[in-house]
Structure 1
Amino acid sequence: MRLSIAITTAVAGAALGAVPAAAAPGPTPTPTPAPSGSVSVRPAPVTWGVTPSSRTGPNGRASFGYKLDPGATVTDYVAVTNHSTRPLTLSLYASDAVTTPQGGFDLLPGGQRPVDVGSWVRLTAPTLTIPSTSRMDVPFTLTVPENATPGDHVGGIVASLAATSADGQGNQVAVDHRVGARIYLRVTGALRPALALEDLRVDHRASGNPFAGGEVVARATIRNTGNVRLAAQPAVESAGLLGLGRRSASGAALPEILPGDAIAATVRLPGVAPLFRLTVTTTVVPSAVEGQVLDPPPAEVSEAVSVWAVPWRQLLLVALLVGVVAALLMVRRRRRRRAARDLAQAVAEARDQGRAEAAATAVGAPSGRPDGTGPPAQPDRSTPKATSEPSTPAPGAHP
């Protein structure tokens, strides 16, 4: 099984035009028995570099930079240096640059034909065999078509080496090691610096802590719809009804975006209160790269969307608190009712007992004791007794 994989080592930063030398494994020599006591040494990897040059050698330029009219032609040189201790055969070609979705700078794969500035370059030597520790200054011409669009056209000149290795499953894999120098061409004419927001998606993520705010996450594709390469600074602002809970945050600055290309960007805004309905505004401020002055200056682009941010956890917590308070009030009300019922019952019992005692006192006889505590006096129903005193006889009566 044979796979073709293109590995681009051509770029590392927006301002970098020439890339340091790359390394690739050299061919495996036929092993020979090592003398006793000797140490076997593996062959050193081959390394090479590509830089802008002149007829007499590199002149310190970091990249190929041109400003040309449509139809103009320029002749220049590229230096390819073999830093290895053995000869090296490389393929030399030009290609168009692209912006990766993550914001990196790359060139088209080796098998893909360029259609922009890479197709405008003509090299005198498509294949180079460079002696060990040597350099070759290769001339080339760049011709701008008459119908070329104004603005920036970006590409690079690449020196590549194909090698074969085995992957983890033992399959033979062809690997293309590439080193390149960038080409920045600006074709004269009207400049239109502009960025656009595409596929904007915004959502609010609730926090696990009901006392903390959630997070607003904005994702979008930022496309360069103009004809000038631009950098960008995204930002997000969130606010509730009447501007309540307004918060804002800036995302990571985006590297240069080539005309027609796009970068996927994500901006996170923490600590956003769930205020049921939020208005989230995503803004992208474009800026020129490498200190260029653009006239007219690029305008910022923004888009506002509304998202739901229902405080479910907070509502659940409030419901629990309301339930607890209601339960406490119910228990307290029941206790009050029970206490009032017990008090009324005690008062009724005391009132009934008092009435019974009063009735008993009203129908009873006077007490046989001065203090009225003795048994009631019984009426005297005995026959009156005769007195023993002598009676005085009536006159004329005999004793």
Structure 2
Amino acid sequence: MSIALRWSGPISIAAALLMASVSIAPAEAVVRAEDEAGIRWAVAPAPAADGGARQVLLIDAQPGETLSDTVDVSNLGASALTLDVYATDALNTESGDFTLLPASEPPQDAGTWISLDAGRVEVAPATAVRIPITISVPDDATPGDHAAGIVASRFVAGPAGGSGLAVDQRVGTRVFVRVAGALAPGFELTISGVDYNPWLFPVANPAARVDYEIRNTGNVALGGDLGGRLTGPFGLPLGGGPSAPVPLVLPGQSVHGTLSSSDALPIGLLDAAVTLTSDTETPFGTVDAVIVETSQRVPAVPWVVVVILLAGVAALVVRGVRRRRRRRSTAGAPADAAAPAAAAPADAADPVGEVAEAAPDSVDRTGGDLLDDPAAADRVH
């Protein structure tokens, strides 16, 4: 269901906060709307030929083909209703819900292919009106899935001349048209950010948050499953693998989401990897599975632990330096006092050295005298 609010009279901030949009319920055969006065209505595909209820309108078509079907608009309340009925394009919300274009935006795709025999219907209490529809597929329609919706809308004007709200309440049913041709399922997966803060470790295990974007790049509406993996250096597992289902993503549409893990241990680096595996079942049958993976690396440093370790190392270094200085000062004082005493014997030994140096001169001179005086030499012999 989608509710759009229109202003009647001056706009106030408080009233602006009341504006809302609610998407169509994903898997109900009948989608209902109800206001505070108990006015209720619903829109759904008419039962199949065998009488079975249909949740959505599924239409297989060739380019250029024209097909017909019917929808039922039911008044579930006790008062008569006047409802506007029309077709428009479908899209995904950011979180992946199936929704329809606002009433103010004209359709550009399958919403333009659908025409209704009645644009406005009067529905008596506790009755239903069956409305024929025609689906005219263009000759140049691209192969694959095209999504739309058929809306039953009730507009309630605000107080005349007042500053109240005008409310446009809408309910709709899904329409999928698959145009014949080559099917090419495809996804693009992107990690838009990794939020990881290990400051509280080891007091508390840090949580990792991985924000991702999924874009359907093919021509088949697909859902699937998303799994995350957190690893450290050399592929060491750091945390459990978070997972999440992927809603049905329409071709050309993008959805955003988050995977979280609360037990990612910080050991320097964190690799966040995300893998998307598509469903093989589609509204029209099976297709080949699509598997895409991407990853992003972020620092994972336990800074509290690092600071504590650095402080401990610094304390040990300072302690060692102080101890070494004390040893040097203790060993240096006796050495300085003993230095003069050790120098005195060295000075006393100097004359001996002089005598030792002079002795050869005396010997030389004596030897020289003997050689110069032959008589002395004879006396020696």
TM-score by length of 1: 0.70
Q: Of 7, 27, 30, which residue of structure 2 is paired with 1:18?
A: 30
Measured in 2, the distance between the counterparts of 1:291 and 1:107 equals 18
2:348 aligned partner? none
Q: Identify which of 130, 144, 151 aligns with 1:151.
A: 144
Distance 1:187 1:18, change over 3 A: farther
Task: Name the structure 2 match of 1:307.
Answer: 298
After superposition, the C-alpha distances for 1:345-381 in whole angstroms (9 at most, x for unaligned) are: xxxxxxxxxxxxxxxxxxxxxxxxxxxxxxxxxxxxx
Describe the SS at the equivalent of 1:298: coil
Aligned match of 1:381: none
Supply the distance in 1 between the matched residues of 2:190 and 2:129 (Cα, whole angstroms). Answer: 46
Q: Distance in 2 between matches of 1:202 and 1:313?
A: 20
Asked whether 1:242 is paired with 2:234, we answer: yes
Written as runs of structure 1 = structure 2, the 5 A alignment for 1:1-399 is: 1=9, 11-13=24-26, 15-19=27-31, 21-25=32-36, 44-53=37-46, 59-165=52-158, 171-198=163-190, 200-210=192-202, 213-289=205-281, 293-295=285-287, 297-323=288-314
The list of structure 1 runs, each at least 4 consecutive aligned residues, that deviate by more than 4 angstroms after superposition, is 2-10, 54-59, 289-293, 323-331
Please list the CA deviations of residues 43-79 of structure 1 after superposition, one character each: whole Å capped at 9, or x if unmatched. x421111111169998511121111111222211111
Q: What are structure 2's unaligned runs of at least 5 residues?
A: 1-8, 335-381
Q: Deviations 1:279-312 (Å, cap 9, x if unpaired)? A: 33222222245576534x1321112322222332
* Structure 2 contact 191–210 (Cα < 8 Å) conserved: no
Tell me the CA shift for residue 127 of structure 1: 0.6
Coordinate RMSD, CA, aligned: 3.2
Q: Which has the larger displacement, 54-63 or 114-123? A: 54-63
Contact 1:10 1:181 in 2 (8 A): no
Q: 1:200 to 1:66 in 2, by over 3 A?
A: same
**C-alpha contact (below 8 Å) 2:191/2:295 kept by paired residues:** no
Counterpart code for 2:313? V
Kept in 2, the 8 Å contact 1:283–1:303? The answer is yes
Q: Does structure 2 conserve the Cα–Cα contact (< 8 Å) formed by 1:159 and 1:179?
A: yes
- Number of residue-to-residue matches in the alignment: 316
TM-score, scaled to structure 2: 0.73
Change in 2 beyond 3 A, CA 1:7/1:273: closer
Task: Report if aligned partners of 1:90, 1:159 keep a CA contact under 8 Å in 2.
Answer: yes
Instruction: Tell me the CA shift for residue 125 of structure 1.
Output: 0.7
Q: Report the CA distance shift for 1:202/1:318 in structure 2 as closer, same or farther (over 3 A).
A: same
Name the SS for the 1:234 alignment partner: strand
Change (3 A) 1:216 1:85: closer
Displacement after TM superposition at 1:173 (Å): 1.7
Letter in 1 for 2:208: V
SS of residue matched to 1:321? helix
Closer, same or farther: CA 314–325 of 1 in aligned 2, 3 Å: same
Does the aligned pair in 1 maintain the 2:48–2:54 contact within 8 Å? no
For 2:242, give the aligned amino acid. S
Mark the runs of 5 or more structure 1 residues left unpaired by the alignment: 26-43, 345-399
Which residue type is aligned with residue 169 of structure 2?
A: H
Deviation at 1:135, TM superposition (A): 1.5
Identity of aligned residues (%): 32
Alpha-carbon distance between aligned partners in 1 of 2:110 and 2:276, rounded to the nearest angstrom: 28
For the Cα contact (< 8 Å) 1:2–1:174, is it kept in 2? no
